[in-house]
Structure 1
Amino acid sequence: MLGFMEYVQSAFLEASHWNQDNSYSSLTATARNLLDFPTPRGLRLNVSSLSTLNLATSYNLGSIGPVDGSLSYLYSSLPLKTTSKSSKIDLCDVVRGYRHLQELRRPDEQWRWEVWRGGRRIDQRDVLLYGRMFLPRSAIEGLYVRRLSPTQQIRVSCVSDARLKNGGTVLALYQRDVGKYSTELLYSTDEALAGVRGLYNFGPDPRKDNPPPNPSAERFYGRFSAGAELYYGAMNKSGGVSTGVRFTTLPAHSGIPLTMTLTINPLMGNLSTTYAVKAGDSLALCSRFDFNVYSYESDLVIGCELWRRRRRMARMATELDRVGDTEAAQGRVGGEEAAGVLKARLGQNGSIGLLWEGRIKELLFCLGPSAMPVTLEERS
């Protein structure tokens, strides 16, 4: 489940019209959400608040070994008109699961971001600042995001911790997304690592006027994407490269939603394939097969997520006051809402993971165990 600060950061990117799914780093996001979910360790409590439209705070307290915790603060120059009450947040917005990719959006025109007053341009670019302090070890992490234009942004994250090499690290990203393709330049002070990655989407260009989609014209109406990344560490004199492809169905597809990916790391000889399908409104299935062409080692992981839904409780008086229209109010309180989700995974080596995420009145929670097989050597 997304932490409150991650939820607010996602709201900032959405409000500033930045597509989080149109990048090479998110190529296998669906499989990671369904198979690589973390299971809780110990007991951890988070108390968070969006005190104003521009400021959010969060306090975290854990009980893993010695008592630990953290203090977090976030500022957004862009007012975030998102739901902040845990009792009203849609679980689908905070639970990482099967990702339905949307049609590519045409980038905003540059002139739409301009604000003029008295013949002078006074507009400013949206900025997000985030800081977090861990106690009692006094480690600090920070994040700076700035939108440069409708198609560009920079993202700088840093960590200060005495346990890290050189006392900390800084990662800087320059991102450009025009819809049809996206590129990223990155640099990390850790090993003086520099890299570049990109993603290209085949099919219509959102910057041009295209005819409306016709799902009946083809069996699978979706999007085929291909990308690659290249990086090199100057200090350790080593580099890496990877490439991948993805096919996913889009909302106009009339059949069962599915996502397929293939990623290859030619230097290490690793090959990974994933297949995820939304088998129903409340069920998603996923599998991943990894293979190394040099060692012939392989691994298979399967997983699923099952949503529990319930009918919304009709609160006509409240909705009428907020909406002011009977039909609109009925539309908002009718139907079903997500009450919780059960995630499960099973590895080829016998590893098991279970996770239940849900809500009890004002409390969002996640709990679940994980188990790894014990070999004869470990027993001895």
Structure 2
Amino acid sequence: MFTFMDYIQNAFYSASHWNRDNSYSTLTATAQALLDFQTPRGLHLHISSLPTPNLATSYSLNNVGLVDGSFSYLYSSLPLLVPSKSSKLDLHSVVRGYRQILPLRAPDPPWWRETWHRGKRVDTRDTLLYGRLFLPQNALEVLYMKRLTPTRLLKVSAVSDAALPNGGTILALFQNDYGKYSTEYLYSSDSALLGVRGLYNFGPDPRDAAAASQPPLPAIFSAGAEAYYGVLNKSGGISTGIRFTTLPSHASFPYTMTLTLNPLMGNLSSTYAVKAGGNLALCSRFDFNFYSYESGVLVGCELWRLRRNREIKSEEWAKKMIREGWETVDRAVSAAGLDTVSGAKASTNDDDVTGVLKVRVNQDWKIGLLWEGRFKDLLFSVGTSLDLKRREQIFRGLGLEVQYSS
């Protein structure tokens, strides 16, 4: 589950019209959300608030061996008019689940955010500042994000910790998103790492006016690559990947397929995720190393629990989607107050779902279980890890995370 500060940062992306999915770094985000979820260990408490649309605060307390905690503050020059009370948050906006990719859109025109007063421009670029102090370690984490232009984003993050080499590290990321393609350039003070990423989307260019008059595409195919090199340790790496995913106009089940390759390490990974119904998603991943011939399989699912008076059987949902098409289903589901399969939020009322169950298992029978939901005014995540091959100690960990925001 996203923390409150993650939720606010995602709101900043949305309010500033930045597409996080049009990036090579999020190529496998759907599979990661379904398979690589973290199960909490120990007890975690979070108390947060959004007193103004521009300022957010959060305090946390952890009990994992030792008692520690943190407090954080966030400032956004762009007002974030989003629900902040944990009792009013839409669970789909705070739970990492199946991610439906939306159609490509052209960048906003340069004059879109211009503000003039008495013949002078008085607008400022959207900026986000975030800081978090960990106690008693006295470690500091900061983030600076700025929308330079409608197509550019600068993101600088830093960590100050005596336990790290040189006392900390800095990571700078410069992103360009032109709709049709995107590029990223990064620098890390750790080993003086330099990197570049790129993603290209096949099909019509959303910046072309003629593309707007064409029927919506049912799917999109993307390809990308990255390369990085450490100046100090004189080592580098490359990777490449492709993604095929359906769009909301697709007439059947949404699904996403990815294939990534790291030729230097010999790692090949393929994933397949499908939204099998309004409240069920399945995913599998196959990893293979063609140097050592080692392989691994990981499968998982997420099952949303709907309230009894709003439950829809998966079989009926599938037949209705195929028979009537996406637009009819979206209208019907929106009228019922449910979240559509396309990922569009139909309602922020907490009457739609009560929680989501996530399960994953690999070829070694290591199982992860996670239940995320809402109880009264609290958001919670409870999970455990199991190792069925170790009969003397099957349970590997158990944890509970509770969040309250106002």
- Displacement after TM superposition at 1:333 (Å): 9.1
Contact 1:244 1:262 in 2 (8 A): yes
1:370 correspondence with 2:367 = no
Question: Which of 343, 354, 362 in structure 1 is aligned with 2:358?
Answer: 343
- Which of 344, 351, 357 matches 2:372? 357
Give the AA of the match of 1:230: A
Residues 317-354 of structure 1: CA deviation (Å, up to 9, x unaligned): xxxxxxxxxxx999769996121000000011121100
Q: Which amino acid aligns with 1:112?
A: W
SS at match of 1:43: strand
List per-residue Cα deviations over 1:189-247 (Å, max 9, x = no partner).
001000000100001111112134256xxxxx200000000000011110000000000
Change (3 A) 1:333 1:82: closer
SS of aligned partner of 1:67? strand
Cα drift, residue 294 of structure 1:
0.4
Helix, strand or coil at the partner of 1:278 = strand
Q: Greater shift after overlay, 29-38 or 115-124?
A: 115-124
Partner of 2:331: none
CA deviation after TM superposition for structure 1 residue 312, in Å? 8.3
The question of whether the paired residues in 2 share the 8 Å contact of 1:312 and 1:336 is answered with no
**Corresponding residue of 1:319:** none
Q: TM-score, normalised by structure 2?
A: 0.85
Matching residue of 2:314: none
SS state of the match for residue 293, structure 2? coil
Q: Supply the AA of the counterpart residue of 2:19.
A: N
Q: Structure 1 residues 257 and 283, CA, compared in 2 at 3 Å: closer, same or farther? A: same
- Partner Cα distance (1:139, 1:90) in 2: 32
CA distance in 2: counterparts of 1:303 and 1:375, whole angstroms: 21
**Alignment-derived partner of residue 323 in structure 1:** none
Distance 1:99 1:24 in 2: 15
Provide the residue aligned with 1:225 in structure 2. Answer: 222
Q: Distance in 1 between matches of 2:161 and 2:42?
A: 23
Question: Are 1:311 and 1:336, in contact at CA under 8 Å, matched by a contact in 2?
Answer: no
Match of 1:325 in 2: none
Superposed counterparts of 1:240-319, under 5 Å: 240-310=237-307
Per the alignment, residue 98 of structure 1 pairs with 98
- Displacement of 1:121: 1.5
* Native 8 Å contact 1:181 1:201 kept in 2: yes
| % same residue | 64
Q: In the alignment, residue 304 of structure 2 is paired with which amino acid?
A: W
* SS of residue paired to 1:51: strand
* Aligned-partner Cα distance in 2 for 1:175–1:7: 21
Report how many aligned residue pairs link the two structures. 358
CA displacement at 1:112 relative to structure 2: 1.5
Equivalent-residue separation in structure 2 for 1:9 and 1:335 (angstroms): 22
CA contact (8 A) 2:368 2:386 kept: yes
* Deviations, residues 12-71 of structure 1 (Å, cap 9, x unaligned): 010000001110000000000000000000011000000101000000001111110000
* Alpha-carbon distance in 2 for matches of 1:106, 1:140: 37
CA 1:111/1:135 → structure 2, altered by over 3 Å: closer, same or farther? same
Measure how far apart 1:106 and its partner are.
1.6
TM-score normalised to the size of structure 1? 0.91
Q: CA deviation at 1:374?
A: 5.6
The SS at the match of 2:208 is: coil
Q: Distance in 1 between matches of 2:160 and 2:149?
A: 30
Residue number in structure 1 paired with 2:202: 202
Tell me which residue corresponds to 1:188: 188
Structure 1: state its 5+ residue gaps. Answer: 216-220, 314-327
Which sections of structure 2, spanning at least 5 residues, go unmatched? 311-333, 338-346, 394-406
Q: 1:147 & 1:277 partners in 2: Cα distance?
A: 33
Stretches (4+) displaced over 2 A: 211-215, 328-336, 371-376
- CA apart distance, 1:107: 0.9
Over 3 Å counting, the alpha-carbon distance change for 1:312 and 1:119 in structure 2 is farther
Matched with 1:15 is: 15
CA offsets, 1:102-131, max 9 Å, x none?
Answer: 111121100112212222111110100000
- Contact 2:88 2:349 survives alignment (8 Å): no
C-alpha RMSD over aligned residues: 2.1
5 Å-filtered alignment, 1:106-255, equals 106-209=106-209, 210=211, 211-213=213-215, 221-255=218-252
Q: Structure 1 counterpart of 2:142, which letter?
A: G
Q: Which residue of 2 aligns with 1:66?
A: 66
For residues 312 and 159 of structure 1, the distance between their equivalents in structure 2, rounded to whole angstroms, comes to: 48
1:288 CA displacement: 0.2
Q: Secondary structure at the match of 2:143?
A: strand
Partner of 1:317: none
Q: 1:55 to 1:152 in 2, by over 3 A?
A: same
For 1:139, give the aligned amino acid: A
2: CA distance, partners of 1:354 / 1:170:
34
Structure 1 residue aligned with 2:44 = 44
Contact 1:78/1:126 (8 A) holds in 2: yes
Alpha-carbon contact 1:127-1:144 (below 8 Å) kept: yes
**8 Å contact from structure 1 (residues 181, 199) kept in 2:** yes
Cα distance between partner residues in 1 of 2:145 and 2:290:
40
- Residues 312-331 of structure 1 aligned to structure 2 (within 5 Å): none
Counterpart of 1:22 in 2: which secondary structure?
Answer: coil
User: CA offset at residue 375 of structure 1?
Assistant: 7.0
Q: Is the 8 A contact 2:88 2:348 kept in 1?
A: no
Distance (Å, rounded) in 2 between the aligned partners of 1:201 and 1:127: 28
> In structure 1, what is the Cα distance between the partners aligned to 2:348 and 2:357?
24
